[in-house]
Amino acid sequence: MSATARAWALAGILGAVVVAGDQAVKARIESSLAPGEVVDVLGPLSLTLAHNAGVAFGLAGGAGAGLVLVTVAALALIAYVFSRDPERKGMWVAAGLLAGGALGNLIDRLVAGEVTDYIDVGSWPPFNLADVAITAGVVLMVLIYIRDAEEGGDDG
């Protein structure tokens, strides 16, 4: 298997793991908690069942079909950026996290018209595993480009 094919396969596997984990946890939360119910976990961390029609962390609520189209466009952009240099060190992790998180929330939007959130940390809006994966993927991608720029590498 070529290095490029390996990178695509690893990104796909990671994305699938993120989607599966995200959907499994959401199903468990939906079946275990009533909307608004709060279960204290540790310190400021608690679980609560919340729904939002917006993007990550409840932003841009009520965007509906437009948000689905934006998500599809974002997935295309992730694929494009990744395709420019899939062998770049760590890029498969960033792409897998981003794609998996976006797909996890897209599934919610298509099936229920809103996203299930459940992680509650104090005054921050509730969020979910898909949101964490998206955030981690963006941060990782930025760090990869910063690292490569500092090393004098090509930006792809």
Strands 38-42 and 115-121: what pairing? unpaired
- Of 22-31, 36-45, 129-138, the range with the lowest mean pLDDT is 36-45
- State the average pLDDT over residues 87-93: 96
Which pLDDT belongs to residue 40? Answer: 93
CA angle 53, 45, 48 (to 5 degrees): 40
Confirm whether 117 is a catalytic residue.
yes
Q: Which amino acid is at 98?
A: L
Which pLDDT belongs to residue 130? Answer: 96
| Helices 3-32 + 65-84 axis angle, to 10 | 150
Confirm whether 155 is a catalytic residue.
no
Using CA atoms, how far apart are residues 63 and 20, in angstroms rounded to an integer?
A: 25
Taking CB atoms within 8 Å and a gap of at least 24, the contacts of 79-86 are 81/141, 81/156, 82/7, 82/8, 82/11, 84/156, 85/154, 85/156, 86/4, 86/7, 86/8, 86/11
Give the tens place of pLDDT for each residue, 29-85: 999 999 989 999 999 999 999 998 765 555 555 556 677 788 889 999 999 999 999
Residue 101 reports pLDDT greater than 90:
yes
Active-site pick, 22, 108, 131, 148: 131
Active-site pick, 22, 108, 117, 148: 117
Question: Which residue, 27, 138, 152, is CA-closest to 77?
Answer: 138
Computed over every residue of the chain, the mean pLDDT equals: 89
Domain ranges for the chain, please list them.
3-150
Which pLDDT belongs to residue 87? Answer: 93
